Amino acid sequence: MSRAYPLPSNLSKETVTNTASLLRIIALALISGAAIASRLFAVINFESVIHEFDPWFNFRASKVLAAKGFYEFWNWFDPTAWYPLGRVVGGTVYPGLMATSGVIYNLLHALNLPVDVRNVCVLLAPGFSALTAWATYMFTKEMKDESAGLLAAAFIGIVPGYISRSVAGSYDNEAIAIFLLMFTFYCWIKALKQGSAMFGTVAAVFYFYMVAAWGGYVFITNMIPLHALVLMLMGRFSSRLYVAYSSWYAIGTLASMQVPFVGFQPVTTSEHMAALGVFGLLQIVAFSQLVRSHISSQQFKALLYFAVIGTGILGATAFIVLTYKGWIAPWTGRFYSLWDTGYAKKYIPIIASVSEHQPTAWPSFFMDLQFLVFVFPAGVALCFRQLRDEHLFVIIYAVMSSYFAGVMVRLMLTLTPVVCVASAVALSTLLDTYIDPREPEASNEKKSESETAPPSTNGTSTPEVAPAPVPTSTKKGKKATIAAAAQPEPTPASVIEEVAAAISPLPIAPKKSSSPQTKSRGIWGLDPRLTVIFNTLAMLSFFVFHCTWVTANAYSSPSIVLASANQDGSQHIIDDFREAYYWLRQNTPETSVIMSWWDYGYQIAGMADRPTLVDNNTWNNTHIATVGKAMASSEEAAYPILRKHDVDYVLVIFGGLIGYSGDDINKFLWMVRIAQGVWPEEIQEPNYFTQHGEYRVDAQASPAMKNSLMYKMSYYRYPELFGGDDGSDRVRQQKIPKGAVTLDILDEAFTSENWIVRIYEVRKEDNLGRDHKSANAFAQGKKRKRSKPQVRRRAIAVG
């Protein structure tokens, strides 16, 4: 037998095994370290703060939980949100995230480590990313082997698609949800492989944790039934599947109903019906098998035929009737818009308005996944080669999630794990093939390479190891043979085949590990090996550079603190948001109500601690539309709305001075659209465009635009900055005519350093009973009367 390169032959089997497992542990530890470290850019470049919008609410809730305990948190009614409605927080929140950090906080304090709850929250996401890497390792190990597992763990640890939602400070549900997703899937695969009720229960427990943590649990709720259904259609029903699915579904569903926000949804909404339907189907199939073992085959066939058809029709009718009767809620809009992609824009603009609900263009995929995006189809193809039950899971997962990720940027997060798993399978098979020192002529010693090839990471395997593989892979090999033996088992497969003979009974036997053709497979010589390995390593290291660069530059901005570069290249921090929120906190009464667009609701509540009209929990569309209407209307129309809602301050975000493009004028059309959805007669989107259909803010802007409260608040006194010239808006690259904007019902209260946040105080009713316009004109007219009488006349005439 010939080898491409020499290997030490004086190593004992134990040495190799022990070294391999030690190296695995070290590698996993290093991967965890890398996963945590690369998420700390945000803390190092900025500071240890909570990022963005939703995390501020989670942080606020965690503070309540840490300070007052779980019971208080559970019954927390927040009167300051959605003023004057308030919000029942305990019943409208996924408490998993807060509960997790609450447990960690209390644990640390029990150990006399006085860690601030903020630091627990900031560092929760990086910590859980290490756990995700481990869960992915376990999952991939089930798909191929340990070496693929390590590669997958390394990928998920640093891939930007996952980092984007889990940098330090991004304290959101997704931070822990991806770990739970992967671990639930791992337990499901394990339960399915072994037919183990214990792993099924563990899967159910983690499913419960997932339900408590993230609305995306519906993905699991539909993935597992889909997998089970495909297995049944392929004639792969087995008692293992029955045990795994039944234990997962029964315990998982009952557990998930304990979360108040979910409640009875698992039995009343369409999203959960697939799981229930597959559960029912599984019972029918299992029952028919039982009957089959007791009666003769002729009777059985007739019975089975009518039973299955009858139950199917009965179930379908029941579902339709219940849906019509309203017992089963139809698909929710958010879910429905995934299938009918035009639906959200037409009927629920509030969903379409969120930037993370936009469809994904290819550069985003490439940025988030880099070379994994094209290696992963190869990995999926390799799954088809063996096509064990667990490989089917990866295949279904890949198809579903690549569609979802294409429809919504946000769902890139669910695609990322399967991309990492599949490409790890592909790359590790590639490395196995090309690192393996054996050359093809030696046919006797060799078994299948894919089964017994040593993990690429240890690199110390000897040919002696190959015939009698290391214990771990023996165990695995045994499992594989068990799985293989279970497949041809005639009873389960044939039942489904009889039922669904016409559809697709796939009698698929797993590839025999010792087929004759594999003997002649392999690579000759050293240079092809080196070429491929060097090429792969180069791609891997380029991937690392890419990930680091993307993480450092694109995904680590806290978005409440902005960074810009000074002329000498040093970093300049723009801290307008916190400046303004702290101004509110320190200069206004605690009861004063702040109106702003819903994006800033959580931040105001979290940082300024003041009541808000609307916030990022967009549960009440009408309330949001009210705010949109106030922003889009003229002063006269807006004033009654402001007064009726007790608004004391109005806050707008304006980026025109420093070129911050995510400001309210750019979001303004969504406010108009959402308001139009509720008051189509009063607010109409076309009125905010010029005659030529352009969205302008300069002298040619449409009258509705110029008179809107949002426009006035954004550009009030803005041209004064330019010393008598027209003001120039750096975001929209347009000139703001001077002296055009007047405000009567509001007083400018605060404008931050770079004008990003502007706060206005709402005037109370005039003491003399005049309307604000004439009162203002009177006040100004008096002043101007002495010098320029004509101006005054014009001012009144214009008004």
Partner 1 sequence: MLLLLPLLALPLAVLSASSPLQQLINLAAEGNGVVKLDAKTYDLVTTPKRNWSLAVQLTAKDPRRRCIPCKEFDPAWEAVAAAWATVPKEHRDNHFFATLDFDDGYTVFQKLGLASAPVVYVYPPTEGPRVSASGNTSPVKYDFSIGFDPGPLAEFVSKHTPIPVPYKEPIDWGRYITIATVALSLLLVLRHLSPLLQSRWTWAIGTILTSLVMTSGFMFTRIRNSPYTGGNGNWVAAGFQNQFGQEVHVVSFMYGLLAAAFLMLILVIPKQASPTRQRIQVYLWSAVIVIVYSILVSLFRVKNRGQ
Which x/- pattern over 309-348 shows residues binding partner 1 (rule: CB under 8 A)?
--------------------------------xx---x--
Binders of partner 1 among residues 33 to 62 (CB under 8 A) are none
Applying CB under 8 A, among 398, 613, 701, 762 the residue interacting with partner 1 is 398
Taking the complex as a whole, the smallest distance from the CB of residue 366 to partner 1 amounts, in Å, to 5
Applying CB under 8 A, among 137, 365, 555, 715 the residue interacting with partner 1 is 365
Going by the DSSP 8-state scheme, the letter that residue 48 receives in this structure is S
Instruction: Using CA atoms of 313, 318, 319, 322 in order, give the dihedral in degrees to the nearest 10.
Output: 160
Taking the complex as a whole, the smallest distance from the CB of residue 360 to partner 1 amounts, in Å, to 6
Binding residue count for partner 1, defined by CB under 8 A: 72
Instruction: Report the candidate in 183, 103, 78 with the shortest Cα–Cα distance to residue 136.
Output: 183
Residue 621 CB partners (closer than 8 Å, separation 6+): 348, 350, 674, 677, 678
Stretch touching partner 1 by CB under 8 A, among 50-58, 296-304, 356-364, 723-731: 356-364
Place of tokens 């803010």: 697
By the rule CB under 8 A, 662 interacts with partner 1: no
Place of tokens 């906190």: 585
Residue 230 in tokens: 């495909």
The smaller minimum CB distance to partner 1, of residues 99 and 373, is found at: 373
Measured between alpha carbons, how far is 642 from 627 in angstroms, rounded to an integer? Answer: 9
Residue 635 in tokens: 């002063």
Size of the chain, expressed as the number of residues it contains: 799
Stretch touching partner 1 by CB under 8 A, among 393-401, 573-581, 606-614, 791-799: 393-401
> Positive or negative CA dihedral for 364, 366, 368, 369?
positive
By the rule CB under 8 A, 686 interacts with partner 1: yes
Residue 519 CB partners (closer than 8 Å, separation 6+): 440, 443, 446
Stretch touching partner 1 by CB under 8 A, among 75-83, 193-201, 379-387, 556-564: 379-387
The smaller minimum CB distance to partner 1, of residues 49 and 431, is found at: 431
The smaller minimum CB distance to partner 1, of residues 118 and 144, is found at: 144
Which x/- pattern over 469-508 shows residues binding partner 1 (rule: CB under 8 A)?
---------------------------------x-xxx-x
Applying CB under 8 A, among 62, 166, 265, 360 the residue interacting with partner 1 is 360
Taking the complex as a whole, the smallest distance from the CB of residue 528 to partner 1 amounts, in Å, to 4
Residue 389 in tokens: 């039950």
Residue 218 in tokens: 């519906």
Query: CB of 58 within 8 A of CB of 98?
Result: yes
Taking the complex as a whole, the smallest distance from the CB of residue 189 to partner 1 amounts, in Å, to 19
By the rule CB under 8 A, 680 interacts with partner 1: yes
Measured between alpha carbons, how far is 114 from 117 in angstroms, rounded to an integer? Answer: 9
Residue 219: what residue type? F
By the rule CB under 8 A, 395 interacts with partner 1: yes
Query: CB of 618 within 8 A of CB of 679?
Result: no
The smaller minimum CB distance to partner 1, of residues 441 and 765, is found at: 441
Place of tokens 């690259």: 733
Taking the complex as a whole, the smallest distance from the CB of residue 482 to partner 1 amounts, in Å, to 22
By the rule CB under 8 A, 363 interacts with partner 1: yes
C-alpha 371, offset from chain centre: 21
Provide the 10 A C-beta neighbour count for residue 745.
21
The smaller minimum CB distance to partner 1, of residues 310 and 528, is found at: 528
By the rule CB under 8 A, 362 interacts with partner 1: yes
Which x/- pattern over 410-429 shows residues binding partner 1 (rule: CB under 8 A)?
----------------x--x
By the rule CB under 8 A, 358 interacts with partner 1: yes
Applying CB under 8 A, among 77, 305, 324, 524 the residue interacting with partner 1 is 524
Measured between alpha carbons, how far is 129 from 158 in angstroms, rounded to an integer? Answer: 9
By the rule CB under 8 A, 541 interacts with partner 1: no
Reduced to 3 states (helix: H, G, I; strand: E, B; else coil), residue 653 is strand
